[in-house]
Structure 1
Amino acid sequence: MKSPALRVLMVGTALEGRGGVAAVVSVLRGHGLFEREAVRYVATHAEGPRLAKARGAVAGFWNTLRACFGQHPAVVHVHSASHASFLRKSIVLLVARLAGSKTIFHLHGGGFRTFATQESGPLMRRWIRHTLEHSSVVIALSEGWAQFVHEFAPMAKVAVVPNSVPLPARVDRTLEEPGRILFLGRLEAAKGVFELLGAGARLARDFPQLRLVFGGSGDVDGVRRRARELGIEDRIELPGWIGPRQRDAELARASVFCLPSHAEGLPMSMLEAMAAGKAVVATRVGGIPEALRDGSDEVNGMLVPPRDEAALAAALATLMGDAALRERLAARARASIEQHYSTEVVCGQLSAIYRELAGTER
């Protein structure tokens, strides 16, 4: 018996994973996009031991092949970052094109520019360009990333669709703890965790209530060791990776959210903090400056250069010492999410792309 027609096949990482792509897709699914647009999701990557990852990849490719040639989806939408993620998804897109589907390459990960222009050799650069230019649409998270795609792959058709986050119903300021700074992300140098520790050491004397909370997995021992060297081991908390419920609780307690990354796409953790009504300090990298605006009449957060410990400390000191400023930036940050990054807005943009590619209207 022939399988029923499939409208959209979406391919990415396992949704129970801890990365940004899993968070993005979970938000889209939770808002009903899968039901409205007849989306089937296939995971080609999962966290865990090497053997489990290999089994997951094989199963994912097999399910993708069966879907592409058995159900003939109108659109195949892949979420991709760099390195192995790109290789897996580029093969999926090749299979989809051979099966006659329209294709969407959804670009995530702040390291893609370096991967494409510096870390890849001539053949890989050619394959990356080919993949981008032969996709029906490349989705970039910001205008800045769209400009990079146009420069690297001039024939690519690019659409800008930001990440989205749900908007919490209310913000309870009474739960905030003065001096509590929250970081959410992988604990590694590229996320700026060591600059945040250095900034914390500069602030500790003037702000006796200072607490640095690092929510995430990764180099926990390295973070603890550096905090000890700086004399602020008693000022840090390392709860490990936290799920949505604990994340929301930590956001409610935080006075300031800080993400001092060296490179980014459009980080979900920052958008979640803005939606939760938090004053945010982040670095001027990737798509962050398009969501978090500083130095203008519409300022809704504070931006600092990456790898600049002194500037980071100064921005955090300004916010921690000015409750009115924190509240003003927090309110504007939440309003920005409501206007531009809500799930309703982003799901509508994706639905329009699907319908255009599939040649259908509703």
Structure 2
Amino acid sequence: MTPLRILHVLRAPVGGLFRYVVDLAREQTARGHAVGVVADAATGGERAEAILVDLAQNLELGVSRVPMSRQIGVLDIAAVRHVAARARETRLDVLHGHGAKGGAYARLAAPHDAIRVYTPHGGSLHYDTSSIVGLLYLTLEKVLARRTDLFLFESNFGRDAFIRKVGQPVAMERMVHNGVAPAEFEPVAPWPDARDIVFVGELRRLKGVDLVIEAIARLRDESLPLTATIVGAGPDAEAFRALAAARGLTGALAFPGAMPAREAFAYGRVLCMPSRAESLPYVVLEAAAAGLPLVATRVGGMAEIFGEASHRLVPPDDVAALAQALRAAATQPNVATTAALRERVRRHFSVSAMADGVLAAYCHAIARRRG
């Protein structure tokens, strides 16, 4: 393959979207491509800054950060200009936008000779037209779809949601699953004093943290005194601490803050992923690779990860069903199911396969654009 010049654009360097961009940039660089990254200057904290500084040492096109607002605002004008300037300076083949904001900046700023690639990662697709904000974002998605050469979806669910809410893409579209690295298949053993359950993710209502708190309260009322560690940070953290206190769980639940997922896994014996909405969550892939038993809801692309074991997924927003699944996982762990899921992730969700699929899609889109 002829080496490509690729610029990735994202807003917030946090969570699964950031993980995806970093993994993809590293793998593309290792294969001889010239890669750069543009991200928001104000989010992500010290951890994101450290990752980006380390990443920049190996990226031919470097890393730049510019202020980007979560909502639509005046900062967007300067951000688009910055991305456009970086695109001109680096003589790109590919401008790849991630998430709603990164995707908008990339498609508005792309020079004529670079293909415009968009991966939604959920983003605008979490909205619907029943709200003014949702109507605005989805209308913008329809407008920007005309400025897109390639849609890359990380799950069949994501592709189906886009078609349902925005429309069938006229441009080329491909589905390429997220992937994890070989080192992530090293097992993670729980600490001797690990709690029964661990949640790892952003502390916001969408992630269902309140549901796991309510489920544990229910089980303790039924004489199963489960404990949990809630790992993460987010806008609803204080509300969840207050809920835990109101349910009498102050001693049963710990809130240690945010930390890397593999470090967090050792704080519990079962990972609970009680989300109300997801795309294709990295934390589930990481936990499965690490050999951690899982309780998760049937949302987004979760069934694509679980495959034949998807019947074990729990209905979303159902405290009773979640409590029942946590009871079974804590008292009757299914070692064979955990091992089978780990092997499925090893076969179908690798970083190498992810990079193969993305690069092949780039090449087809370039050939179509220039052909």
TM-score (norm 2): 0.80
Question: Mind listing any 5+ residue stretches in structure 1 that lack a counterpart?
Answer: none
Could you tell me which residue of structure 2 aligns to residue 225 of structure 1?
242
For 2:171 and 2:299, locate their aligned partners in 1 and report how far apart those are by CA, in whole Å: 23
Could you tell me which residue of structure 2 aligns to residue 7 of structure 1?
5
Identify the match of residue 343 of structure 1 among 351, 356, 362. Answer: 351
Q: What code does the residue aligned with 1:95 have?
A: A
SS state at 1:305 partner: coil
Could you tell me which residue of structure 1 aligns to residue 116 of structure 2?
103
Superimposed CA distance per residue, residues 27-48 of structure 1 (whole angstroms, 9 cap, x where no aligned partner): 2234x32342322111146417
CA contact (8 A) 2:96 2:116 kept: yes
CA contact (8 A) 1:110 1:264 kept: no
For 1:116 and 1:139, locate their aligned partners in 2 and report how far apart those are by CA, in whole Å: 23
For 2:276 and 2:258, locate their aligned partners in 1 and report how far apart those are by CA, in whole Å: 20
Measured after TM superposition, the shift of residue 329 of structure 1 is: 2.2
1:305 aligns with 2:315: yes
For 2:243 and 2:203, locate their aligned partners in 1 and report how far apart those are by CA, in whole Å: 12
CA contact (8 A) 1:195 1:307 kept: yes
Aligned length: 336
Superimposed CA distance per residue, residues 53-85 of structure 1 (whole angstroms, 9 cap, x where no aligned partner): 56996775444222322333111101014xxx2
For 2:341 and 2:10, locate their aligned partners in 1 and report how far apart those are by CA, in whole Å: 29
CA contact (8 A) 1:44 1:59 kept: no
Could you tell me which residue of structure 2 aligns to residue 141 of structure 1?
154
1:278 aligns with 2:263: no
CA contact (8 A) 1:211 1:236 kept: yes
Q: What code does the residue aligned with 2:301 have?
A: G
Superimposed CA distance per residue, residues 208-261 of structure 1 (whole angstroms, 9 cap, x where no aligned partner): 3x221111112222112111111111111101111x3xx323313421111111
SS state at 1:299 partner: helix
CA contact (8 A) 1:258 1:282 kept: yes
Could you tell me which residue of structure 1 aligns to residue 218 of structure 2?
202
For 2:114 and 2:124, locate their aligned partners in 1 and report how far apart those are by CA, in whole Å: 28
Q: What code does the residue aligned with 2:122 have?
A: G
Identify the match of residue 319 of structure 1 among 320, 329, 347. Answer: 329
1:31-180 mapped onto 2 (5 Å cutoff): 32-36=27-31, 37-44=33-40, 46-47=42-43, 53=68, 60-81=79-100, 85=101, 89-96=103-110, 98-109=111-122, 112-115=125-128, 118-120=131-133, 125-151=138-164, 152-154=166-168, 155-167=170-182, 168-171=184-187, 173=189, 175=191, 180=196
Gap change, CA 1:158 and 1:202, over 3 Å in 2: same
Superimposed CA distance per residue, residues 170-215 of structure 1 (whole angstroms, 9 cap, x where no aligned partner): 325575767521111111211111111010012225333x221111
Superimposed CA distance per residue, residues 296-355 of structure 1 (whole angstroms, 9 cap, x where no aligned partner): xx31783111110000000111111113x1x22221221121111111111111121222
Measured after TM superposition, the shift of residue 120 of structure 1 is: 4.5
Measured after TM superposition, the shift of residue 116 of structure 1 is: 5.9
For 1:206 and 1:148, locate their aligned partners in 2 and report how far apart those are by CA, in whole Å: 41
For 2:284 and 2:201, locate their aligned partners in 1 and report how far apart those are by CA, in whole Å: 10
1:185 aligns with 2:201: yes
For 1:211 and 1:345, locate their aligned partners in 2 and report how far apart those are by CA, in whole Å: 38
Gap change, CA 1:260 and 1:119, over 3 Å in 2: farther
Superimposed CA distance per residue, residues 98-150 of structure 1 (whole angstroms, 9 cap, x where no aligned partner): 53321111011266142467545766544311322431111112112212323
Measured after TM superposition, the shift of residue 13 of structure 1 is: 3.2
Gap change, CA 1:124 and 1:225, over 3 Å in 2: closer
For 2:43 and 2:319, locate their aligned partners in 1 and report how far apart those are by CA, in whole Å: 32
SS state at 1:13 partner: coil
Q: What code does the residue aligned with 1:27 have?
A: D
Identify the match of residue 257 of structure 2 among 240, 243, 247. Answer: 240
Q: Identity of aligned pairs, percent? A: 29
Gap change, CA 1:22 and 1:359, over 3 Å in 2: same
Gap change, CA 1:162 and 1:75, over 3 Å in 2: same
CA contact (8 A) 2:124 2:137 kept: no
Measured after TM superposition, the shift of residue 26 of structure 1 is: 2.1
Deviates more, 1:280-289 or 1:122-131: 122-131
SS state at 1:234 partner: coil
Q: What code does the residue aligned with 2:125 have?
A: F
Identify the match of residue 250 of structure 1 among 264, 267, 284. Answer: 264
SS state at 1:306 partner: coil
Aligned residues: CA RMSD:
3.0
